[in-house]
């Protein structure tokens, strides 16, 4: 039997990948790197078919081979790129923003401690189709970072994750300046948001906002007063877990006009009773989470269950 040359093997493998491109999505990043450095035919196949790429946690730098492989070539079908926990820095981000990813929709650069300069480079990326950006766990110069972020030109952005960034009211002021008409999911959990932050956040009308996570902040009764004024008619999911809410806070929250609200998370607060929610007009409510909310069950108003006939899940664990 005649021996098959390495080049011929490469051509055969290219044919297989051309016929079943889904195989490329099953390969780890290390295997894709091998294909990219084998020959030009395989490189074109990878560039033309890979839609999702995960770079494993590591220390990337601007001259790192992984970065160069991302930047060089035309990734015409790449839609999802995960770069979390890769210790990205300003120069590295500058290199990444040179990448040709015309169909990129989902970018995860969370857990990288990006500073303002790195975020500024991120905003320069030419990704007109970007829909999802995960930027959480970034704690360097956060106010300036959000200032740069709000100037981005991503008209298709639908989901923004900014959790655990030590954000305060000044950062929220900058955030509300952004022009993201399609924004529907916003995660601001694990920050330092207070009533001043809520005053700023609710001043902006996001007509498409459906999911808002405000868990693990410093929100109190005054904060709920501002939140209740928010003009977000499409809001369906609201998380207020692990804040500083009390029964008085619920009196303010109940004033919110969110006819499509389907899920409300009040876990880990000091509510004691739910009587104040009796005034709420949320006919679509299906899930109410009250775990560890210090409720006195004898004060649980049966009228609420009758009012919210659509309620399908009620969590009341004390543990």
| Domain CATH code at residue 130 | 3.80.10.10
Q: Work out the average pLDDT over 134-145.
A: 76
Residue at 127 is within a domain: yes
Higher pLDDT, 139 or 145: 145
Residues 43 and 61 in one domain: no
| Residue 1, pLDDT score | 36
Residue 177 included in any domain: no
- Is the domain of 152 the same as that of 216? no
Claim to verify: residue 200 and residue 290 sit in the same structural domain: yes
The answer as to whether 17 is a domain residue is yes
Does residue 3 lie within any of the structural domains? no
Least confident range from 80-89, 134-143, 284-293: namely 134-143
Q: Give helix 6-19 / helix 40-49 axis angle, nearest 10°.
A: 20
Enclosing domain of residue 32: 12-49
Q: Is residue 5 part of a domain?
A: no
Of the candidates 129, 162, 195, which is a domain's last residue?
Answer: 162
The C-alpha atoms of residue 82 and residue 29 are separated, in whole angstroms, by 11
Question: Which residue would you say has higher pLDDT here, 79 or 318?
Answer: 79
Rounded distance between C-alpha atoms, residue 10 and residue 116, angstroms: 44
Mean pLDDT of 98-113: 88
Where does a domain end: 162, 192, 215?
162
**140 shares its domain with 249:** no
In a domain, 299, yes or no: yes
- Model confidence pLDDT, tens digit, residues 228-264: 999 999 999 999 999 999 999 999 999 999 999 999 9
Number of domains forming the structure of the chain: 3
239 and 143 co-located in one domain: no
**Among 189, 199, 62, 211, CA closest to 132:** 211
Query: What pLDDT, in 10s, does the model give residues 8-48?
Result: 444 465 554 455 555 555 556 666 666 666 656 666 766 66
The verdict on residue 178 lying in a domain is no
Query: CB–CB of 129/158 below 8 Å?
Result: no
**pLDDT value for 6:** 35
Do 32 and 56 have their domain in common?
no
Together in a domain, 149 and 35:
no
> In the predicted model, what is the mean pLDDT of the chain?
82
Q: Residues 207, 244: one domain?
A: yes
Q: Is residue 7 part of a domain?
A: no
Say whether both 191 and 318 belong to one domain: yes
Q: Are residues 227 and 300 in the same domain?
A: yes
One domain for residues 156 and 118: yes
Q: Quick one: 102 and 28 in the same domain?
A: no
């Amino acid at each position: 039997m005649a021996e098959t040359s390495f080049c011929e093997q490469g051509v055969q493998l290219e044919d297989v990948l051309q016929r079943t491109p889904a195989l490329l999505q099953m390969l780890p990043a290390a295997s894709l790197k091998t294909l990219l450095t084998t020959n030009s035919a395989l490189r074109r196949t990878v560039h033309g078919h890979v839609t999702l790429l995960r770079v494993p946690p590591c220390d990337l730098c601007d001259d790192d081979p992984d970065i160069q492989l991302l930047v060089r070539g035309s990734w015409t079908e790449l839609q999802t790129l995960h770069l979390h926990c890769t210790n990205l820095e300003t120069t590295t981000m500058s290199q990444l923003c040179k990448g040709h990813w015309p169909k990129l929709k989902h970018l995860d650069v969370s857990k990288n401690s990006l500073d303002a300069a790195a975020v500024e480079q991120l905003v320069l990326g030419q990704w007109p189709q970007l829909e999802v950006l995960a930027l959480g766990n970034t704690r360097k110069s956060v106010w300036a970072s959000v200032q740069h972020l709000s100037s981005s030109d991503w008209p298709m952005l639908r989901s923004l994750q900014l959790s655990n960034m030590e954000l305060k009211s000044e950062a929220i002021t900058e955030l509300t300046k952004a022009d993201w008409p399609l924004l529907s999911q916003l995660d601001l959990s694990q920050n330092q948001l207070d009533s001043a932050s809520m005053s700023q956040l609710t001043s902006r009308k996001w007509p498409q906002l459906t999911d808002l996570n405000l868990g693990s902040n410093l929100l109190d009764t005054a904060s709920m007063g501002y939140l209740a004024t928010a003009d977000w008619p499409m809001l369906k999911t609201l998380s207020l877990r692990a804040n500083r809410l009390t029964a008085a806070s619920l009196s303010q929250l109940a004033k919110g006009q969110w006819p499509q609200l389907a899920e409300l998370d009040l876990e880990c607060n000091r509510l004691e009773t739910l009587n104040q929610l009796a005034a709420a007009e949320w006919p679509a409510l299906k899930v109410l989470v009250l775990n560890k909310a210090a409720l006195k069950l004898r004060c649980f108003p049966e009228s609420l269950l009758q009012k919210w006939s659509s309620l399908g899940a009620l969590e009341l664990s004390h543990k």
